[in-house]
Structure formats: C-alpha cells, structure tokens
C-alpha cells in the first residue's frame, strides 16, 4: 500500500487535502492529521493550509520509497524500530518477495554483524537490508558484499572522503571502521535462491566507544550532518549497475577497483588461518575475490575470516 509520504511526493507541487489523502489511504481526517504530525516530527517540511491541503516542501534526510530507479527499493519497508532489518528481509525472501526489496530501520534493537557480533544501530545511521535473487553459483555470492562495500567507498571518494574497502566487506576511513556488510543467503547445490545484503553505515549517529574495532561516522569524519536519503539513493543507483555487471562477468568486473581502493593491499596484516593468528603481507585479491597474502615465505589465499591491519 502507498504510504503518506509517497502520496505527497507523487503530488509534487499540488497540495493534497486531508479528505483526498484520507480516501486514498483509508484513514479518517483525524488519522491523517496525526500522520502528518508524525512526518513533521521526523523532520519533513510539510506546509498545510486550511481548505487547500498539505504540500511536501522538503524531505528530512530519511530515505523514502520514491528515491530509487524502477525495480529497486520496492517493496520499500521502513521501520522506526525493529530488532534487525536482516530478519525482516530473510522472512520476506522465504515468502517469495521479489528482488530489489529494501528494508530499512531508523534504529535496530538486535542488529548483528559478521561472526555473530553485535551491531549497534542507534538513530541517525543507515541500517538496511537489500534482497537479491542473483542467478549465480553459491560460491560467487560472497563477492556481492565486496561489490557493495566497494560502491560505498567509491561514492564517498567522490564526495572527498578517503574511504577504503577492507577485505572482506568493511568500509574504513583511516584506521577506523565506518560500516560493514553482512551477507546471508539460501541456495540449492548449484544456484543461489536469495541473498540478503545487510548493510550498516555510521552516518550522523553516535559511534559507541570501546569497540573491538574503533568506529567512525561520516559526521565524525567531516564534522557535518549528511543526508542519508541522498547517500542511499546514490548507493542504490551505483550498486544496480555494479550488480548487473557482476551477474554477467563475476568478480573480475570489480577486481581492479577493489584493489585500487583496498585498505590493506601492500600492507602487513594479522589473519586467522586454520584457527591460528598469523602475520603476513596482503598482496591483493584473486579473480574470485579471495584475499592473496604472503606469510612465512608462502603465498596463500583466504576465503573467510578476519583480517586487521598490523
């Protein structure tokens, strides 16, 4: 069903009366009034004049359903508070929801990261899960997270921030983590059924202190508030293209860019290898997106695990 914000967006510069909105959304005038008040409280600038109606003058920085190209970001599910967008997306995936569905939350109470870690998700960040149904072998799916991280680094680079990808799927600025990607999927033996990319980026939110990996937000890095709506719509547009290329040509289509923006390439780092902590030099990534390292005089590739700059 259309939501009130989308209705106001569609109307453009034509005011919509409470009665018309009520009819379209099946609400009483009082309920319309309440929802308008809620949108204003979220920061949307909505003008209202008696007998004329309501007019959306300016969005808050909150992403909304009209921001993406056709087929992406629809259905659009926005939650004020939810345990984890990842669970909502996985449930929808199992129920047959189409590719491109987007689940986004103002805050999560049980956000989770890779390797079972907790992911703090207070208001002001971008916490979202994107449902994909790629025609790929299961072994090629993890590369989608590398692609997603790369598109974040590229869009921030364009905005003057030295963001880097840290294998496998983090985005860092300097020595601090800005965001990360959690990939969950369901597959048959040789084909992926669905992938949910769960993406968390610290934007205007406070970043908790004392994390295992020190964190940073965009606001902290640049000293200003950012529009989450603009950031997400640009990422969605970029990723739609990167994804289309990846479906045709796999990881080689992004390998060069991934290496160009790699935090660790040519640097020493610590790895988990077969349960042991190892120190080595990062050489780059191979054609499948695995990390190439030299350690103890031997070149090896790593496909899962944790890596930190030494």
Binding site for ligand BTN (CB under 6 A): 84-86, 108, 111-114, 117, 119, 121, 127-129, 170, 180-182, 198-200
How far lies 90's CA from each of 87, 98, 275, in Å?
A: 5, 12, 30
Q: What is the closest distance, in whole angstroms, from the C-beta atom of residue 89 to ligand BTN in the complex? A: 8
Nearest residue relative to ligand BTN (C-beta): 180
Q: How far apart are CA 258 and CA 289, in angstroms?
A: 9
38 contact partners, CB below 8 Å, separation of at least 6: none
Give the residue with the Cβ less far from ligand BTN, 21 or 126. 126
Q: What is the closest distance, in whole angstroms, from the C-beta atom of residue 104 to ligand BTN in the complex? A: 8
Q: How far apart are CA 162 and CA 146, in angstroms?
A: 17
Give the residue with the Cβ less far from ligand BTN, 18 or 180. 180
Contact (CB, 8 A) for 115 and 157: no
Q: What is the closest distance, in whole angstroms, from the C-beta atom of residue 239 to ligand BTN in the complex? A: 15
Give the residue with the Cβ less far from ligand BTN, 119 or 246. 119
Question: How many Cβ atoms from other residues are within 10 Å of residue 1's Cβ?
Answer: 7
Question: How many Cβ atoms from other residues are within 10 Å of residue 160's Cβ?
Answer: 8
How far lies 281's CA from each of 161, 278, 284, 292, in Å?
A: 26, 10, 9, 9
Give the residue with the Cβ less far from ligand BTN, 99 or 306. 306
Q: What is the closest distance, in whole angstroms, from the C-beta atom of residue 61 to ligand BTN in the complex? A: 17
Q: What is the closest distance, in whole angstroms, from the C-beta atom of residue 196 to ligand BTN in the complex? A: 8
Give the residue with the Cβ less far from ligand BTN, 216 or 283. 216
């Amino acid at each position: 069903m259309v939501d009130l914000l989308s209705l106001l967006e569609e109307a453009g510069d034509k005011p919509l009366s409470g009665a018309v909105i009520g009819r379209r959304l099946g609400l009483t005038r009082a309920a319309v009034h309440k929802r308008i008040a809620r949108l204003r409280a979220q920061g949307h600038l909505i003008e209202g004049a008696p007998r004329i109606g309501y007019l959306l003058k300016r969005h808050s920085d909150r992403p909304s359903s009209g921001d993406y190209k056709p087929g992406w970001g629809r259905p659009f599910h926005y939650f004020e508070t939810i345990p984890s967008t990842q669970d909502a997306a996985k449930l929808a995936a199992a129920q047959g929801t189409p590719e491109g569905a987007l689940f986004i939350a103002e805050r999560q109470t049980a956000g989770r990261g890779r390797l079972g870690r907790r992911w703090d998700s207070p208001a002001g960040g971008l916490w979202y899960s994107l449902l994909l149904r790629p025609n790929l072998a299961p072994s090629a799916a993890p590369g989608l997270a590398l692609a997603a991280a790369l598109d974040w680094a590229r869009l921030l680079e364009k905005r003057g921030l030295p963001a880097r990808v840290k294998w496998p799927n983090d985005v860092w600025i300097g020595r601090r983590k800005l965001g990360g990607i959690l990939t969950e999927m369901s597959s048959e033996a040789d084909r992926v059924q669905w992938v949910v990319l769960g993406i968390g980026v610290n934007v205007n939110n406070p970043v908790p202190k004392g994390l295992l990996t020190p964190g940073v937000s965009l606001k902290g890095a640049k000293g200003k508030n950012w529009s989450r709506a603009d950031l997400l719509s640009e990422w969605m547009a970029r990723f739609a293209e990167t994804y289309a290329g990846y479906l045709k040509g796999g990881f080689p289509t992004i390998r060069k860019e991934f290496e160009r923006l790699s935090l660790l390439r040519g640097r020493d780092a610590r790895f988990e290898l077969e349960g042991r902590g190892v120190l080595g030099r990062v050489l780059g990534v191979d054609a499948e997106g695995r990390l190439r390292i030299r350690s103890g005089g031997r070149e090896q590739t790593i496909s899962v695990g944790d890596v930190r700059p030494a």
